[in-house]
A and B are shown apart, each in its own frame.
Chain A
Amino acid sequence: MKIRDRATFATSAIRSQPVRSTLTALGIGVGIAAVVLLLSLGAGLQRFVLNEFTQFGTNLLSVTPGRKTTFGMSGAMINAVRPLSLEDADAIAALPQVERVCPVVMGNVAVEGGGHTRRVMATCVGASMPDVWRFSVASGRFLPAGEERRARPLAVLGDKLWRELYGERSPLGEVVRVGGDRYRVIGVMEPKGQFLGVDLDDAIYVPVARGLELFDREGLMEVDVTFRAGASSDAVTAAVRRTLVARHGDDDCTITAQQQMLDVLGSVLSVLTFAVAALGGISLLVGGVGILTIMTIALGERTGEIGLLRALGATRAQVRWLFLGEAAALSVIGGVAGLALGGGAAFLLHVLVPALPVAVTPWHALLAVGVSLAIGLGAGVLPAVRAARLDPIEALRAE
């Protein structure tokens, strides 16, 4: 029997029971839709998170005071911690693999300028910040190097802060008040967006030594370190740790390598994606059982037809293929519908939440059709083999 004729036969059987066929195909369709939606979401989420972290580069590590016992839990709450000083930052900068260091202090301040006042994040950093954070100046210049200790009161505005205070006017040379002190504006940063919920554009950038005074702090909140491409993240982490232990007499800082963070995030996301796909897999299994059930019922209803086909000269193999083809067709129809459903839902989500990049790839389409075909064939095997085994005279007598 030719493929075309098998297809005609299968579709005529499927169409003759529209409600039952629709429900059965729907079982597969829902499973495929879930898998496609969740996989595309997972892939989108993964890309989203990776972009968020790699925007600062991967040859990056950060040093914070206090020991973190586990990811995110700070022991600094419990123990008195030796502060992380500008001298510590200098010592790290002297390491051979290290390219640049950027000491950081942050805090909330009111900024007055251009006749407006705005509460923003004061980001107090070293002159190397644009390189370390990959964040460049749009106009004017950034804070000058060589003034870490005795810093002049100079400030660089984030893109949003500038627009809020001065509209479209150039702020260069203007004076802003930060926490009661006067700072001269020497530059404006390019827009950069948010990082983990902190708006880097709604911020003022001032020298770190000023920040220590401004917030009356003994030490830095963080030292960001970039190292040469090719140097291993682990080796640099170890070198930084040795330096700090030598200076503090104790291992009292936390060093987080960007690479390590990415690895952890990556594996968390993979596990999540996998779990979600497994859930979809279970609904596919249920769909497969649905097809098995319906084909078994069809076998009972069409026993006479099988007897007739055998009488007309159909071989056992031909009967087996008819049933297998019908199960596969039912499943693939469901799979294609599910792909449309899942892809549509993913697209809708993308329209509603543009920040979340969902990606339906051709690979998903291939997967949906392939998986549903496999399920259909798998679920159809048993009824098909039973149909082929029927004794033709028994089958004809069943009428």
Chain B
Amino acid sequence: MIELHQVSRRFEVGGQVVHALREVDLVVARGDYVSLMGPSGSGKSTLLNVLGLLDRPSSGRYLFDGEDVTALDDDQQALVRRVRIGFVFQSFQLVPRLTTEQNVALPLVLAEVPLAERRERTAAQLQAFGLADRGHHLPDQLSGGQRQRAAIARATITRPDLLLADEPTGNLDKHTGDDVVQALEKLHDDGLTLIVVTHDQALGARAVRRLRMDDGRLEEGAA
């Protein structure tokens, strides 16, 4: 489903070139469960951003479902993100003034899904993530684990093919982190392709396939 060929990403910072990704080759099959580990600044987030079409490689090719998505323009990429890719961030990224329900429904709002269908799907999603009685709460009225579950519910409400999670348990204690991991693994069991960036060895080890990044280079195999 994902094919990266010789993908590099360079940033220019104050006249100096930072190589965040160096000629990365990667193939991920549909339904894979991949963990991505490595020291801070090694390029994990950059790789996730490229995979999620939030960032463009400086060179190399990216095929998503056989289609060269680096050739798409901004709006076309936005469309792919909207329906086929979900993001989960370390800091949850819930809009603080919107209720849990409204936050979860955001992708459907952007996609102009009719109100009745939107309500139904949002309610089902809240139910599935154990947030049925939290729909009208604001994010700051939720615990950390509930917030991340709401974020995962939002990321998957459009039933994407690919879920990208950047240190999803980084802001959570061990116990609530496990909750979140279980929610993610359940999605994988249902057929979702999952790529998780983590510092947590135990979490990384649970993945079917383990990748490691070091200074912009990608290596296969467990730590």
B-side contacts of A305, CB under 8 Å: 93, 95
| Docked complex: B142-194 residues within 8 A CB-CB of A | 154, 158
With contacts A1-B110, A2-B112, A393-B49 taken as known, whether A315 is within 8 angstroms of B78 at the C-beta atoms is yes
> Among the listed A15, A315, A318, A399, which residue makes an inter-chain contact with B93, where contact means beta carbons less than 8 Å apart?
A399
Contact with B along A1-41 (1 / 0, CB 8 A): 11001001100110110000000000000000000000000
Within the complex, the shortest CB–CB distance from A316 to chain B, in Å, comes to 6
Cβ B75 vs Cβ A308 within 8 A: no
B110 touches which of A8, A13, A312 (Cβ 8 Å): A312
Which of chain B's residues has its CB closest to A314's CB? B110
| Residue A304 at the chain B interface, CB threshold 8 Å | yes
Mark interface residues in B82-105 (1 if CB within 8 Å of A CB, else 0): 110001010101011110001000
Please determine whether B93 and A310 come into contact, CB atoms closer than 8 angstroms: no
Q: Are A399 and B91 in contact (CB under 8 A)?
A: yes
Residues of B within 8 A of A338 (CB): none
- Given A12-B98, A305-B95, A316-B75; A311-B110 close (CB under 8 Å): no
The reply to whether A396 and B75 form a contact with Cβ atoms under 8 Å apart is no
Name the B residues within 8 Å of A304 (CB-CB). Answer: 91, 93
B-contact bits for A112-130, CB 8 A (1 contact / 0 none): 0000000000000000000
- A399–B93 Cα distance when bound, in Å, is 9
The interface residues of chain B lying within 8 Å CB-to-CB of A207 are none
Interface check B111, CB cutoff 8 A: yes
User: Considering the chains assembled together, what is the distance between the CA atoms of A387 and B95 in angstroms?
Assistant: 16
List B contacts of A362 (CB < 8 A): none
Checking B81, B93, B96, B97 against A313 with a beta-carbon cut-off of 8 angstroms, the contacting residue is B81
> Chain B contacts of A309 at CB under 8 A?
106, 110
Task: Please determine whether A1 and B112 come into contact, CB atoms closer than 8 angstroms.
Answer: yes
| Any A CB within 8 A of the CB of B52 | yes
Which A residues touch B89, using CB under 8 A? Answer: 308, 396
CB neighbours of B49 from chain A (8 A): 393
Cα of A382 to Cα of B154 in the assembled complex, Å: 30
Give Cα A12–Cα B83 distance, bound, in whole angstroms.
Answer: 25
CB neighbours of B83 from chain A (8 A): 313
Asked whether any CB of chain B lies closer than 8 Å to the CB of A376, the reply is: no
The residue on B at minimum CB distance from A15 is B97
| Chain A positions 355 through 399: 1 when the CB is less than 8 Å from some CB of chain B, otherwise 0 | 000000000000000000000000000000000000011001001
Known: A1-B110, A393-B54, A396-B89. A311 touches B95 (CB 8 A): no
CB contacts under 8 Å to B, within A309-356, are: 309-318
In the bound complex, do residue A312 and residue B154 qualify as a contact, i.e. CB atoms below 8 Å apart? yes
A393 to B50 Cα, complex, angstroms: 10
Residue from B79, B80, B97, B102 in contact with A16 in the complex, judged by beta carbons closer than 8 Å = B97
Taken residue by residue from 109 to 130, chain B's Cβ proximity to chain A (1 for < 8 Å, 0 otherwise) reads as: 1111000000000000000000
Contact partner of A312 (CB less than 8 A), chosen from B91, B96, B102, B106, is B106
By a beta-carbon cutoff of 8 Å, the part of chain B in contact with chain A is 49, 52, 54-55, 74-75, 78-83, 87, 89, 91, 93, 95-98, 102, 106-107, 109-112, 154, 158
Nearest 5 CB-CB pairs, A to B? A313-B82, A16-B97, A313-B81, A308-B93, A315-B78
- In the assembled complex, 27 residue pairs joining A and B whose CB atoms fall closer than 8 Å, in A order, are A5-B109, A5-B112, A12-B97, A12-B98, A16-B97, A304-B91, A304-B93, A305-B95, A307-B93, A308-B93, A311-B52, A311-B81, A311-B87, A312-B82, A312-B87, A312-B107, A313-B79, A314-B78, A314-B82, A314-B110, A315-B79, A318-B110, A392-B54, A392-B55, A393-B55, A396-B89, A396-B93
